[in-house]
Amino acid sequence: MSEKAPLHNYRLKTSTDPESKDEAANSRPKHGGDRGGSGFVSKTDRKLGVVFGVVIPTLLSMFSVVVFLRIGFIVGQAGLYQTFAMFLVAYIIITMTVFSICAISTNGALDAGGAYYMISRALGPEFGGSIGIMFFFANVCGSALYILGLVEAIMSAFGIPEASEPAPVFGASHRVLPSGYWWSLLYGTALLLICFFVCLIGAHIYAKATFVIFVIVTTALASIFGSFFTVDPRIVMLPDSSFMNASTQITANYTGLRVHTLEGNLWASYTVDYTTGTMMSFATVFAVMFNGCTGIMAGSNMSGDLKNPSFSIPRGTLAAVFTTFVTYNMLSLLAASSCERAILQRDYSFLGAINVWPPLVTVGIYSSAMSAAMSNLIGASRVLYALSKDDLFGGVLALARKTSRSGNPWASVLASWLLVQMVLFAGKLNTIAGIVTIFFLLVYATVNLACLALEWASAPNFRPSFRCFTWHTCSLGILGCLVMMFLINAIYAFASIAFMLLLLMLIHYLGPISNWGYISQALIFHQVRKYLLMLDVRKDHVKFWRPQVLLMVANPRSCVGLITFTNDLKKSGLYVLGHVKLGLLDERPSDPLQSCYDSWLSLVDHLNVKAFVNLTLADSVRHGVQHLLFITGFGGMRPNTLVLGFYDDCPPQDHLQDKVILPPDHSLDAVCPNKDPGEPPFPFFPNVRDTDKPKDIKEEEYVSIINDAIKMGKNVTLARYFSQFNREEVLGLGKKTKTHQGTAGPFVDIWPLNLLQPDIRGYVDVCSLFLLQLACVLHETRAWSQARLRLFLCVEAGGSLRDEEAAKLRRMLKELRMSAQVQTVDWDQVVALHWLRRGMEKDEGRGTKTDDGHHEASPSNEAQLTDEYIHAVNDLIRSHGAPPPAVRFLYLPHPPADKSRYGAYLRQVDLLSQDLGPTLLIHGVTPVITTDL
């Protein structure tokens, strides 16, 4: 082989076979689900055992041409001591990765796909898909690389030199093959066709072919070992180091096994590499040596063709690793004991020169290169088929799923062959040889990461029968692989990691949801549980308060505007969508809500809100809300604010019409499966309620829900007219508006006075401050940062406290670091409607206070709240709404204690907020503001 032939070991035999002949003919699998099949062939048709399925492919992958052409180079440059140290360090890294492979492969039934299958099923589709793509391209380039390397080796021995090249000094009679770019491409194409036909027939022919190659390579190795003991000392002709004058020859001595020769090769002596002209160092030699240690996953990547993968992979891989380790060290010792350093440093092919029959070494080199090219081609086809079968890239890889009657993925083999043929046109692949090796090292690091993540997640189902691993071995394997990547080529290492992350993000955002299980979910659960236990409610403080919202949704179709607005209002707090289904569990054979969570989660994804979903079954809406308020959340993460839609007669509107938010095999009107045959099925999201149909909740029950929440210490917000709220239009998202030009933003109006109790003066109570805090929280949201707050201060024109109240309010806003435009509103005429028509003094009818310190309308005061007065207040609010605000914040009075007055209370709130556009009526019971640091 040519001394310049790339010597990186690019190994992968990923055998992702189809599940069965029947399944291969079926329609495409749905959304990347677990295919759970048995690979390309059924389990009864799997024929490969430990030796043929794992040991031989792994040995051939690890030996390759390195064992023939680079052992002497390593010893000559680094010396025997450092060579032993290099092999020890390299095999520690390799062994740690092998331990991770063995652990994952013995943790259950291992299907076809090898490394890709392990990573995708352990870490999820994002890592699996990204690593699978890298695996595929690495195998394609690796196959082309070894074909070109084999062509170069053949041409160096049998090629006719071109006119511009110096004539060879000896061996000219053997040079009969025409040379040149197109001739080399022709030879490479012919060799690739041989590999293609072998892979096209199937894995069993490949196994037989590799066995023949293994016999040849083993024979060549045996002859090499025997030659050290049988060949007499001789003079070896060394290649010229000038690259220009081939007539000049340099000689060195092969001494046979001698102690003085060993002593001369014990220590390092780094020189310029005679083939590249670059100065060698420990790092560069170690990088070359490490290429002969990769290929450890060749056996595990044949998992689809193994009789018992969980049994064969650990035993076969460990046996192969141990065999190569002993072989490399024995060859190093024998070479150092018999060859002068000049031979080791300046002749990569010295093993042929000192062999009892030199052509046998050449045949071994050719056979190992052919095996490498074949293994990469079949590995690429198996990875491609695995990716197409898992449907991570939609219909892009649909054609690659086609298989033959015997189950061989001929379409994937054909596609891989075509890509390899295209790469052959490059002619030279030295520039991509490094990144191909780095791709495989990154795969090895990811396998260690998968095993480490499974170990850290403490998942009960992760209990592999192979126990010779810990998180220490996984971490050491990851660190070793990453160090080797950057040692070989830092630029390629950064590029490969960036490429993997790019693919990971693309699959995460564009790929379908799979049911393989996501290791990230297990790790998040483990950490969230730990931190939730650390979140002590006894350490809560008002200065760290944030809104944690429970939004009750009757039907998502009519609540899109409110759901998106509340998402902005939560300020990185807890946000839960709650829903009550009427009914009793006693009347049903199973919980009817479990099958409905998928549609609700799809709704959350579609609306792009950061919310949880909590559904409950109850005999009434009131009891259902009580259930959710009692049980929603954990520890210190519990809702402190209840948001309800308003109780009015506005016809609901369907905002999800013509929008698909569920997987393609469902629809918004899809029927939720019901196990009770006697009960008709119900839809996930039924159509909006007809206005002529009665509501599920009565006025008294609605007000009772408000009262219940206040009793439980929850703040209450009633949202009205949010069917008119369009977030994109209000905030000018997706188009250039004045908001984005910085000239004007939406207005948010705040009315902190209890307008239904005109006898109560003052703005500094818990409810008013809570209302101000919510408005400030909304303003601090990035989307609402351009909004302008307008705070309206209602005063009587003749009152002596007019200026004092305004100054006090501005001072309070400054202390609370709230930016708002304060506007005083004269409402003498409005107040007169309440007092003067009754002929009463202003100091009569003072409101009473409830136990929580909030004012409640007294019976005498409520009786005086005429419709005329409330209409006047409503007109006052509307008259001060120019330009119209995006949303209004109003003070919600405490419900009356007497249930008989619930209807009047709701009617007054209805008249107060009538035709005001999107409005929040807020009643706060939680202290949320402090001026302390």
Between vectors from CA 877 to CA 871 and to CA 881, what angle results, nearest 5°? 140
The Cα–Cα gap between 790 and 441 comes to 60
The Cα–Cα gap between 647 and 718 comes to 9
603-617 mean pLDDT: 90
The Cα–Cα gap between 10 and 438 comes to 9
Residue 677: pLDDT above 90?
A: no
Residue 738: pLDDT above 50?
A: no
The Cα–Cα gap between 14 and 206 comes to 13
| Residues 300 and 115: beta-carbon distance below 8 Å | yes
728-746 mean pLDDT: 61
Alpha helices in 789-920 (DSSP H): 802-815, 828-835, 859-863, 867-879, 902-912
Could you tell me the domains of the chain?
50-510 (1.20.1740.10), 716-732+744-838+864-923 (3.40.50)
Handedness of CA 61, 65, 66, 67 (dihedral sign): positive
> pLDDT tens for residues 790-848?
988 887 765 555 667 667 777 777 777 778 888 888 877 777 776 555 554 444 444 44
579 pLDDT band, cuts 50/70/90, is very high
The Cα–Cα gap between 366 and 722 comes to 75
613 pLDDT band, cuts 50/70/90, is very high
> pLDDT tens for residues 280-305?
888 888 877 887 777 787 777 677 77
Q: What are the DSSP calls for 702-750, one per residue?
A: HHHHHHHHHHTT-EEEEEESGGG--HHHHHTTTS--TTTTTS---EEEE
> pLDDT tens for residues 701-736?
999 999 999 999 999 999 999 988 888 888 876 554
How far CA 669 is from CA of 611, 677, 683, in Å, comes to 22, 20, 6
363-371 mean pLDDT: 86
Residue 185's nearest CA partner among 413, 372, 423 is: 423
Residue 932: pLDDT above 70?
A: no
617 or 121, which is more confident?
A: 617
Residue 64's nearest CA partner among 427, 419, 320 is: 320
| Residues 373 and 102: beta-carbon distance below 8 Å | no
The Cα–Cα gap between 385 and 403 comes to 9
Residue 430: pLDDT above 70?
A: no
Instruction: Give the total residue count for the chain.
Output: 933
> pLDDT tens for residues 245-282?
444 567 888 998 999 999 999 999 999 887 667 888 88
> pLDDT tens for residues 45-69?
556 788 888 888 888 888 866 678 7
Residue 855: pLDDT above 60?
A: no
- Percent of the chain at pLDDT exceeding 70: 78
The Cα–Cα gap between 538 and 882 comes to 45
The pLDDT value recorded for residue 32 is: 38
Mean pLDDT over each residue of the chain, to the nearest integer? 78
Give Rg (Cα) of the chain. Answer: 39
The amino acid at residue 589 is P
Q: Does pTM surpass 0.75?
A: no
- Which of 74-83, 210-219, 648-657 is predicted with the least confidence, judged by mean pLDDT? 648-657
Neighbour-count burial for 879-894, b at 16+ CB within 10 Å, e otherwise:
eebeeebbbbbbbbbb
- Percent of the chain at pLDDT exceeding 90: 24
For the chain, the straight-line distance linking the first and the last C-alpha, in angstroms and rounded, comes to 76
The pLDDT value recorded for residue 713 is: 92
> pLDDT tens for residues 466-509?
888 888 999 999 998 898 888 888 888 898 888 888 888 888 77
Between the ranges 86-90, 274-278, 763-767, 779-783, where is the mean pLDDT highest? Answer: 86-90
Between the ranges 50-54, 112-116, 916-920, where is the mean pLDDT highest? Answer: 916-920
